[in-house]
Amino acid sequence: MSDTPAEDCLFCRIVAGGIPATVVGETEHSLAFRDIEPAAPTHVLVVPRRHVPDLAALAATSADELADLVGLAAAVADREGVPGYRLVANTGAAAQQSVFHAHLHVIGGRDLTWPPG
């Protein structure tokens, strides 16, 4: 694992400003932006500013950054005015993780059924 931004990482490029995104929140350690293919009226991605492949790796290296990520996700949901929301973290290709940079999906703004897909 490397803390260095990966040139081929989509989220590293968004964090660096090389790819435009609709930013809806940020902290020293995290960035939140709208998903370009939303699964619900509110669908925001929250990513750490440094490159780590998934949430397990982030938790193993920095509990403070993981807490910051979850805190920003909660703040975004509050600002979006959603009464309830889901935080989703796909880890690994078998779980449909398609960008191997840790991230949370903040999904809300409609009734969410259980179990999810």
Annotated catalytic residue within 43, 51, 101, 103: 103
Q: Exposure of 77 by Cβ count < 10 A (0-12 exposed, 13-18 middle, 19+ buried)?
A: buried
Sheet holding 85-88, edge to edge: 23-26, 30-34, 42-48, 104-108, 85-88
103 a catalytic residue = yes
Residues tagged active-site: 103
